[in-house]
A and B are shown apart, each in its own frame.
Chain A
Amino acid sequence: MRVVLERSNLLKSLNHVHRVVERRNTIPILSNVLMKADGNSLALKATDLDLEITEATPAQVDQAGATTVPAHLLYDIVRKLPDGAEVMLKTDDDGNAMSVVSGRSSFRLQCLPQSDFPELSAGSFSHKFTLEAAKLKMLIDKTQFAISTEETRYYLNGIFLHTFESEGNLKLRSVATDGHRLARAEFEAPAGAEGMPGIIIPRKTVSEVQKLVDDPEIAVTTELSDTKIRFTIGSIVLTSKLIDGTFPDYQRVIPTGNDKKLVIDRQSFASAVDRVSTISSERGRAVKLSIADGQVTLAVNNPDSGSATEELAADYASDPIEIGFNAKYLLDVAAQLSGGEARFMLADAGSPTLIQDTSDDHTLYVLMPMRV
């Protein structure tokens, strides 16, 4: 194999694919990136056996061929080459090493045969639809923070993507929860999504897709079956296994009968939570909200360092209530809300609270209170 290409093109593609490669691998070939030169492009592919990303980039192919080299090593080399440089990649005759030559720099990397590189057999997909990148990004951005990291409940370690019929309209919904908070985002379902199975997309895949859809204008083709999903974003193709599990019936968790309504300026609320939670040195300390007629008092008490309170004007007309939330969770939700005002629907100090943007009914959040 012998190809010449621009450093910026190579770097951009490597940047997309190398993140899939785990830093520590027990199977050596998984540390490598597969490079295939053919026609007038160089295709790169990396995998961790659950997730695979391929990307083709324009290149001048002098001699077609394929090989694999350590992904992070190649990425680091290309990253350090000067801007605007040209890079030549050339394998030895015996295929045991590949040279990376750019200007006066030259590197030789150990290769592993391309035939050893695992293929994530995709099988066939049952559903296919196209989604604007901005919408896909929104489905991810608004829910990703609530994905559980708890291994014990592996079925919560991803985003649940499914369709849902509401008032005669079919919606495409993403839901994530870790048992303490739940986030839900939805859109009109695109054509082709009808009848798709509910799927759980693993956390790592979610965050890779999120990084790949940097251009909001682009259309993303999504293909899926009940075990795999594939996103095609321009010249990038990401294929991933899905989490094999049953997502819990989240509808039951979303409170419908909460009758205490609090409306508050989102920005000042977020800043206030941030300020008072400074005092809570440790993860998982509660912010207590004392809500009474027209006013919310936020309070944090940390026996080790002191206490903080802040008062905020709010729109509230129900019976006074005191309720505690994990400061971090409250901040996370506040960070997702984008409108001017946040609406809290409360029941009592021990029941789930519903939080929404007053100007956006595509998203909703549920928070479990903490004992205070």
Chain B
Amino acid sequence: MPVNASGQGFCRDCLALQRAETRRCTACGSPRLLRHPELYSLAIAHIDCDAFYAAVEKRDNPTLKDKPVIIGGGKRGVVSTACYIARINGVRSAMPMFKALEACPEAVVIKPDMEKYVRVGREVRAMMQALTPLVEPVSIDEAFLDLSGTERLHGQPPALVLARFARSVEKEIGISVSAGLSYCKFLAKIASDFRKPRGFSVIGREEAVGFLAEQPVTMIWGVGKAFAATLERDGLRTIGQLQKIDQSDLMRRYGTMGNRLFYLSRGQDERRVSPDHEAKSVSAETTFDTDLAATGDLVPVLRALSEKVSLRLKKAGIAGRTVVLKLKTQDFKTRTRNRQLADPTRLADRIFQTGLQMLSKETDGTRYRLLGIGVSDLSDDGKADPPDLVDQQARKRALAEGAIDSLRDKFGRKAVETGYTFGKGRNAHPPEPLDD
């Protein structure tokens, strides 16, 4: 398909090619035209669903369409997703719920229905996988796609394939996505974020360095609040400033991160889009309605979360060797403790007991607002939970857990409960945690 001349573009609504420099589509009159000199030579895409949880809820309940919608858990939880109307009022994700409601009192707050989001997320992912096998999911609602070499298959260059994809997600699933197209993952991700919602931005090789020079350092993947503060102390705010420093200097100052700064600031990112990007850890956490300090209050939560982690491990056929406990104190300080096991485990009981040992050292009267438990150091579950010479009860407990699992499979999550969580109220049955 000979569509390579620069300045050419297409209409994102009807996909008609645009030859002249018009402001609106010559075929359908839409203003959503996409033009870029490198439009047809770029193949790395990042796709991100717009306000995903909120969009799904709005799709399923049209009366919410024009209302500000916030998805988040409980009184004390945080905002998981805010729709764009709520965002106009200043609501941001990860904001404590009470603040969000201060900013936008008329917002409709909906508890997350993770199962539904996962289902919709899978539908979107299936549509991506129809475009290319190289789909690397980043989270439930975003993914990188490598569309190199798919032009002959689709009879269209990647840019058009993406536009058509965005249109069909809207039509078939009923939510909108934003797409970024570039030559590397780093810039594709920045591009997709650029004109949300329903955005489609392109960053080409020619403009990359110039474009990045204007951007703040926080745009670089891996530069968080703390590291940004370090850079700020050294007088570095924009990526452009980084571009002027040579590699050895950056390495000397910031170690391996300096190396990353060097390459990314120059728009060089060699990371591949790899479909079998494996999870590094599996965890679950919950923020309480009121801060908790007593062991008796924390243990049921720990048990419930351990069961959740275990369930996800079992579903994925993996196991973890390091158990990680996470606590957030009243004054927002995070404590993490971890302990390595002799063998990988996927059993709720093992995760819980290990977590309990770590928790018992932290229940010193400190009030906590958040508790989380997880496992890392993941492997497939073939070697998990081997029989043990010393602990003769281990096998029995594992069998009991298997029986509980099959009962829950058949009759639902609350069909069988251990005494740890039974009748322990809301905290022991926390809403589904954020899955990012």
Q: Which residues of A contact B (CB under 8 A)?
A: 148-153, 156, 177-182, 248, 250, 252-253, 284, 350, 352, 366, 368, 370-371
Minimum C-beta distance from A303 to chain B (A): 11
Cα–Cα, bound, A368→B357 (Å): 26
- By beta carbon, the residue of chain B nearest A283 is B383
| Cβ-based interface call for B66 (8 A) | no
| Cβ-based interface call for B195 (8 A) | no
Minimum C-beta distance from A115 to chain B (A): 32
Cβ-defined contact, B389 with A151, below 8 A: no
User: Please, which residues of chain B bring their CB within 8 A of the CB of A181?
Assistant: 389
Cβ-defined contact, A370 with B386, below 8 A: yes
Cβ-defined contact, B341 with A371, below 8 A: no
| Cβ-based interface call for B392 (8 A) | yes
Assess A152 versus B390: contact at CB under 8 Å? Given A178-B342, A179-B342. Answer: no
| Cβ-based interface call for B276 (8 A) | no
| Cβ-based interface call for B354 (8 A) | yes
Minimum C-beta distance from B49 to chain A (A): 36
Cα–Cα, bound, A162→B387 (Å): 26
What would 19 more interface pairs be, CB under 8 Å, given A150-B340, A368-B386? Answer: A148-B342, A149-B342, A151-B339, A151-B340, A152-B339, A153-B390, A179-B388, A179-B390, A179-B391, A180-B386, A180-B388, A248-B391, A250-B390, A284-B343, A284-B383, A352-B389, A366-B389, A368-B387, A368-B389
User: Please, which residues of chain A bring their CB within 8 A of the CB of B340?
Assistant: 150-151
| Cβ-based interface call for B382 (8 A) | yes
Q: Which chain B residues numbered 353 to 404 have a C-beta less than 8 Å away from chain A?
A: 353-354, 357, 382-383, 386-392
Cα–Cα, bound, A248→B391 (Å): 8
Minimum C-beta distance from A372 to chain B (A): 10
Query: Residues of B within 8 Å of A, CB-based: how many?
Result: 17
Q: List 12 A-B contacts (CB under 8 A).
A: A151-B340, A152-B354, A152-B357, A177-B390, A180-B389, A181-B389, A182-B389, A252-B392, A284-B383, A352-B389, A368-B387, A368-B388
Cβ-defined contact, B389 with A156, below 8 A: no
Q: Give 9 nearest A-B pairs by CB, closest first.
A: A179-B388, A150-B342, A248-B390, A253-B389, A179-B390, A368-B389, A179-B389, A284-B383, A152-B354
Cβ-defined contact, A371 with B342, below 8 A: no
- Which of A152, A156, A248 is B341 in contact with, Cβ under 8 Å? A152
User: Please, which residues of chain B bring their CB within 8 A of the CB of A178?
Assistant: 342
User: Please, which residues of chain B bring their CB within 8 A of the CB of A252?
Assistant: 392
Cα–Cα, bound, A284→B380 (Å): 13
User: Please, which residues of chain B bring their CB within 8 A of the CB of A371?
Assistant: 382, 386
Assess A177 versus B389: contact at CB under 8 Å? Given A150-B341, A152-B354. Answer: yes
User: Please, which residues of chain A bring their CB within 8 A of the CB of B342?
Assistant: 148-150, 178-180
Minimum C-beta distance from A160 to chain B (A): 11
- By beta carbon, the residue of chain A nearest B394 is A179
User: Please, which residues of chain A bring their CB within 8 A of the CB of B392?
Assistant: 252
Minimum C-beta distance from B299 to chain A (A): 17
Cα–Cα, bound, A177→B389 (Å): 8
- By beta carbon, the residue of chain B nearest A154 is B357
User: Please, which residues of chain A bring their CB within 8 A of the CB of B339?
Assistant: 151-152
Cα–Cα, bound, A150→B392 (Å): 17
Cα–Cα, bound, A300→B214 (Å): 57
User: Please, which residues of chain B bring their CB within 8 A of the CB of A156?
Assistant: 390
User: Please, which residues of chain B bring their CB within 8 A of the CB of A153?
Assistant: 390
Cα–Cα, bound, A252→B388 (Å): 12
Minimum C-beta distance from B231 to chain A (A): 29
Minimum C-beta distance from A24 to chain B (A): 18
User: Please, which residues of chain B bring their CB within 8 A of the CB of A370?
Assistant: 383, 386
User: Please, which residues of chain A bring their CB within 8 A of the CB of B354?
Assistant: 152
Cα–Cα, bound, A146→B357 (Å): 24
Cα–Cα, bound, A352→B395 (Å): 14
Minimum C-beta distance from A131 to chain B (A): 27
Q: Which chain B residues numbered 380 to 436 have a C-beta less than 8 Å away from chain A?
A: 382-383, 386-392
Assess A253 versus B341: contact at CB under 8 Å? Given A152-B354, A284-B383. Answer: no
- By beta carbon, the residue of chain A nearest B339 is A151
User: Please, which residues of chain B bring their CB within 8 A of the CB of A150?
Assistant: 340-342
